[in-house]
Structure 1
């Protein structure tokens, strides 16, 4: 797997009337940087968000910044982590202790983090605890997620993602571990 995508990945949302996301993964000093944006016009909500997530060379998250714009204005959330201990907007958040990954709910891009970090073989599963950031509310909470690597199909790696709040979904990824299809939620168009 390479360290970066040469062009941004673009996804169309399948779960709302209109939604489009764009994201990149690039090598950065001492790790990797994820940059993405998402615009959603749903039945009940309309928002745009932009985020940056930084990791070390082992794909462990060290920083996340999310900006959201809704009809109520713009808001921002900043998180920093070290050794599985997190601060949210400069305040220690012990409920997130042990979380190595950040899941920004508005985008398929952050699924790349555990896919790359875990290095699962077909048939292997792993439960992980992540700091999940809801968009557009910017609420952060601890969630247990399970990733299972499925058999390859049509030359693509596949994973099952599961969490207790949303159920399970199949993810198909490219050679960099970036989502191509997120069952029922997003499909890569570029």
Structure 2
């Protein structure tokens, strides 16, 4: 795997008036780090989102830090996983018990975590519990998501992502598991 920040991915958001994100997957001795930033302008809403997600060598989320800059100032959120127990800003978050992945709602980058961790073969599906972070308000809740892998097409991995509250979307990924196209949400620029 060429997890490196030498060539960060850039996505254009398709679900808002103006939105652009930049993200990198960085290999570290004890796991992986996802670094990203998003800038969004939509119907009077303007904000930037900056986040870091740390995962172990098995792609299990261990720590998350999110920072939002908007007209309301700067707000931050920190999540940390201690085995099956989660902390939110240092306090126990029992509602997240059993979550393995995190999904920062403003970016396709965090979809890489379950895609890499699950290692699904074409035709396989898996339901997972994730700590879903709504952006820009930083609400966190437990969400069940389903990932189904399909046959690759045109050199890209293909998945369908489904969540009860958000619908079903087709995802295509590169060889590192980074999103190329996320139906109706984001498309890779570079």
**TM-score in terms of structure 2 length:** 0.97
Which secondary structure does the structure 1 equivalent of 2:117 belong to? helix
Match of 2:57 in 1: 57
> CA 1:5 to 1:176, structure 2 compared with 1: closer, same or farther past 3 Å?
farther
Residue in structure 1 matched with residue 30 of structure 2 by the alignment: 30
The whole-number CA distance in structure 1 between the counterparts of 2:125 and 2:25 is: 24
Residue 165 of structure 2 is aligned to residue 159 of structure 1: no
The 5 A counterparts of 1:76-155 are 76-155=76-155
TM-score, structure 1 length as denominator?
0.97
Offset at residue 44 of structure 1 (A): 4.5
Distance in 2 between the 1:107 and 1:145 partners?
16
- Measure, in 2, the Cα distance between the counterparts of 1:119 and 1:126: 10
Q: Deviations over 1:124-146 (max 9, x none)?
A: 00000000111100000000000
Correspondence list, 1:14-25, <5 A: 14-25=14-25
SS at 2:38 equivalent: strand
2:160 match: secondary structure: strand
The farther-off stretch of 76-85 and 160-169 is: 76-85
**Structure 1 gap segments, 5+ residues each:** none
Count residues with an aligned counterpart.
190
3-state DSSP of counterpart to 1:111: helix
Matched residue, 1:74: 74
Shift of 1:172: 0.4
Runs (4+) of structure 1 exceeding 2 A deviation are: 1-6
